[in-house]
Amino acid sequence: MTIPKIYAHPVWITKLMEKMFKKGYYEGVKLLILVIFLISLSQVVFGISKVQSQVFLIDFNVYYQASKTLLSDQNPYHQVFNTVPFNYPPSSFLFFVPFTLLGQKEGQVLFTLLSLLSLLSSSYFLTSLFPITSKWTVRLFITSLFLQNFPAKFTLTLGQVNLIVLLLLILMFVFEKKRKDLWTGICFGLASMVKLTPIILGLYLLFKKRFLALFIGIGMLLLSNLFFIWRWPETASFFQSILPQLNLQTGMGASLYDQSLRAFLSRIGLTFLTCPLSLIIVSILVVLSVVKFLRQRDDLVFFSLLLAITTIGNSFTWQHHLVFLFPAFLAETVYFLQSKSVLRGIILATSFAIVGYHFPDIASPPTTNPIFVFHSLMGTLILIGLLLTHRTVKSRQGNIGKSKLHLSII
């Protein structure tokens, strides 16, 4: 009797079983990542809902009450709201005032929903920039990491505006890559109107020769502030007193939530030199970033470096500000996946972990060592160092500084 060919070749059966195993393995990984994402999202939504049901969100309360104060023709910059001052430019009221049309409870629910959607959208647009991160499994895994990062949770539970500003900046980057100067300028202008921090990205537009977008963004910022100063002259006090005071802060006596360069320098005993030293360090890092961009033309790395440097170079850097590091983490993740450097992967994971960590009891940290107390600052400096040491990877697909943008939206 002739043995069927299939039984006569056990190697064929072995290969078939290997293929079936691999297929089952990958399906299992996909299911696991989906479960991780759903658990991460549910945990964040549940946590925020619990906080919202008990108290008014601290920072949203400041936005809301300051807007009410402005509408009653009083100066919001001469008051504090539950011990917290309003330190945003007058132009930011264009965004905050509409929430006063709702009750404060309803307003903060809408605001939080917008913030959460901004986080998810930011992750989507960032991961869409590269083929290697646009696969839905990779995208969901990266989004899960962003959701579980302490700065993102901190932003959401405080009712901070950072995630909305982050989305505007990422959209600015996306529109710039699609050469849509009008929308690039509008997004840049809107982000700068809410917070002045994004102004540094004017350097990005300048070196990219997007002069129209730069003009539109700066024009929107100037005109909106001039309008508020004309309509409510007392708001000029932001530029006359509040902004100069913020710029001259030394970081002395800062909360442990403050992870700025100034606070670190102050804590190691350089209180009277914090402003000039911080300015020197930031200037050196910016110059290195510009030199690197002129050599390699990696747009996302340059964009991310400017954003990261200005985040820790501010007069104060609360941990919720560190959501502005997300583009930098994405840029370094892509480089790691393409360079396949195990050492860089370990360093990147370490940076992400210590930036995203927080002491459970911030009033009584387990150590007074400034290196450990300023763990988020150290993690940010590590990340900046990683970005500055990128080398050209010949097979690097998705290098949006040199190749076509991998994005099919807008």
Shared domain for 310 and 228, answered yes or no, is no
- Contact status, residue 71 vs residue 209, Cβ threshold 8 Å: no
Among 16-20, 87-91, 176-180, 274-278, the minimum mean pLDDT is found in: 16-20
Q: Examine residue 20 and state whether it is found in any structural domain, yes or no.
A: yes
Asked if residue 253 has pLDDT above 60, the reply is no
d(CA 35, CA 48): 20
What's the whole-number mean pLDDT along residues 299-303?
A: 95
- Contact status, residue 55 vs residue 126, Cβ threshold 8 Å: no
Report the pLDDT value the prediction gives residue 408, as an integer from 0 to 100.
40
Rg (CA), the chain: 24
- Contact status, residue 221 vs residue 281, Cβ threshold 8 Å: no
Shared domain for 51 and 79, answered yes or no, is yes
- Among 225, 242, 259, give the residue marking a domain's end: 242
Q: Examine residue 406 and state whether it is found in any structural domain, yes or no.
A: no
Shared domain for 96 and 193, answered yes or no, is yes
Handedness of CA 44, 128, 215, 280 (dihedral sign): positive
Asked if residue 362 has pLDDT above 90, the reply is no
Whose CA is closest to 277, among 289, 288, 290, 266? 266
Secondary structure letter of residue 395 according to DSSP: T
Shared domain for 42 and 154, answered yes or no, is yes
Asked if residue 398 has pLDDT above 70, the reply is no
Range of the domain at 153: 1-242
pLDDT digits (tens, 9 = 90+) for 158-175: 999 999 999 999 999 999
pLDDT digits (tens, 9 = 90+) for 64-76: 999 999 999 999 9
What's the whole-number mean pLDDT along residues 323-334?
A: 95
- Among 242, 262, 277, give the residue marking a domain's end: 242
Shared domain for 186 and 292, answered yes or no, is no
CA distances from 102 to 97, 106, 161, 163, 165 (A): 10, 6, 18, 21, 22
Confidence of residue 33 (pLDDT cuts 50, 70, 90): confident
Shared domain for 218 and 303, answered yes or no, is no
Asked if residue 216 has pLDDT above 60, the reply is yes
Shared domain for 27 and 133, answered yes or no, is yes
Which one is predicted more confidently, 4 or 285?
A: 285
What is the reported pTM?
0.88
Shared domain for 273 and 309, answered yes or no, is yes
Which one is predicted more confidently, 369 or 195?
A: 195
| DSSP string covering 329-368 | HHHHHHHHHHHT-HHHHHHHHHHHHHHH---SSTTS-S--
Asked if residue 406 has pLDDT above 70, the reply is no
Report the pLDDT value the prediction gives residue 117, as an integer from 0 to 100.
97
What's the whole-number mean pLDDT along residues 274-293?
A: 93
- Among 242, 272, 305, give the residue marking a domain's end: 242
Shared domain for 274 and 218, answered yes or no, is no
Among 84-93, 112-121, 274-283, 391-400, the minimum mean pLDDT is found in: 391-400
What's the whole-number mean pLDDT along residues 224-230?
A: 96
What's the whole-number mean pLDDT along residues 243-251?
A: 79
Indicate the number of domains in the chain: 2
What's the whole-number mean pLDDT along residues 104-124?
A: 95
